[in-house]
Structures are given as C-alpha cells and as structure tokens.
Amino acid sequence: MADSFMAQWVYTDTVKDHFINPRNLWKEGEDFKADGIGEVGSLACGDQMRVGIKVKDGKIEDLRWLTYGCASAIASTSMMSEMAKGMTLEDAYHLTPAMITDKLGGLPEHKFHCSVLGDKALRAAIDDYLEKNGMENPYKGSTAKIICECKGVTDHMIEELVKNDKVRNFDELQKETGCCTACGKCKMKIMEELNECLHIYGK
C-alpha cells in the first residue's frame, strides 16, 4: 500500500531536470518583445501562466514563459517551450497536454492538470498574435472537442464561459448551453471539464 502511494508521487528524471533547470524562462528585466501574449490560470487556485511568443514566417521563432505554478507546471511548461520553438503556428496550436507529458516521461496522475496550463497559454498567445495582426484564426475550432453531442457543447465553449465569468456552476452552464438536457449521458464528462476550468481560472 505504501509503495503504491509513493509511486503516485514519483517524478521522472526529465521532470526533475526541467523543474531545476527550466528552459526559456521570462526573466525579470529581459528585453523580450513578444508578438503575442497569452495568460491562463489564477493565483486563487495556485497556478497562473503567461506565455509570450515571437513569430517569423508563420513559425514560433522564440518563446518565453512565467508561472506561479508547482513543480509539475514548471516542468511541463519548460518542456512545452522547447517543443513549440520552430513549430508552425498550426502545429503549436495543436500541442496537447498528453504530448507534453509523454515527452516528460509521465507525470503523477493527480498532477496531470498542471500540464494543461502551458498549452492553453500557448494557444492564447497565438490567438493574441493573430488578433493583433488582423489575421483570421483557422485553428480555434479545430482543437475543440465536443462533450455534449446532443447540444454541440465543446470544451472550448465551457472554458470561455468560465473564463469570462458567465458560468460558475453546473446549473448556470446548463442554462447557458442546454447541456445534459437531452440524453444526459455526458453529465460526468461535462462536470469534469467544468470543474477543471473552475480550478484553472480560480472561480
């Protein structure tokens, strides 16, 4: 029993390396002029993330990040920053927590949520860059996952509603989107996504 419990807290050598020696940190006083900046999270939940990107010829030329998160958040964002540099905006937009975690050699299960901050902040930075330059965003819809098929409710819809303080509980989400009012099979997944967003944005 004790061995099983301890195993849940084991970090890989790669995670430890990226935590102790994080790559591409946005250092105080550094003259880094970002073309796009994305912020996610909330100090209320203990994790907050900022990502800045420089873009050249449709690719991420350089990237910096800053977080108030835990060791897992630091390590996963450090790894994300290495993966994203040199990527096209499209490929970077489609980076997932699973891809980042896989490169780290895994994270303790209860710490997996920390890995979603980096990719969300990266997408927000790309959104910001495209908006600032008056460019269309062809990527936004392609990363959305439908959770309530009957009503077409996606994870992005839930995230935006929580982030903009329009939804703070399941009843408000149901009223806003109509989720779980048809077959109801999606309720557990809806609740998981809602709770994750509430945690990330400290609502």
pLDDT value of residue 8: 44
Query: What's the pTM?
Result: 0.75
Handedness of CA 154, 130, 103, 13 (dihedral sign): negative
pLDDT value of residue 4: 38
Rounded to 5°, angle at Cα 186 from 182 and 98: 150
- Report yes or no: 182 and 102 within 8 Å, Cβ to Cβ: no
**Catalytic residues, which ones?**
45, 114
Residue type, 102: D
pLDDT value of residue 9: 45
Annotate the chain with three-state secondary structure: CHHHHHHCCCCCHHHHHHHHCCCCECCCCCCCCCCEEEEEEECCCCEEEEEEEEEECCEEEEEEEEECCCHHHHHHHHHHHHHHCCCEHHHHHCCCHHHHHHHHCCCCHHHHHHHHHHHHHHHHHHHHHHHHCCCCCCCHHHHCCEEECCCCEEHHHHHHHHHCCCCCCHHHHHHHHCCCCCCCCCHHHHHHHHHHHHHHCCC
Please list, in sequence order, all residues whose beta carbon lies within 8 angstroms of the beta carbon of residue 129, skipping any fewer than 6 positions away. Answer: 35, 36, 53, 55, 89
Half-sphere exposure in the Cβ direction for 194 (13 Å, CA): 22
pLDDT value of residue 127: 94
pLDDT value of residue 48: 81
Query: Mean pLDDT per segment of 10 residues, for the chain of length 203 residues?
Result: 41 88 91 93 71 97 89 88 96 89 77 68 95 92 83 88 91 93 89 86 68
Q: Which of 63, 43, 48 has the alpha carbon at shortest distance from 126?
A: 63
Q: State the pairing for strand pair 36-42/47-56.
A: antiparallel
pLDDT value of residue 93: 94
pLDDT value of residue 25: 93
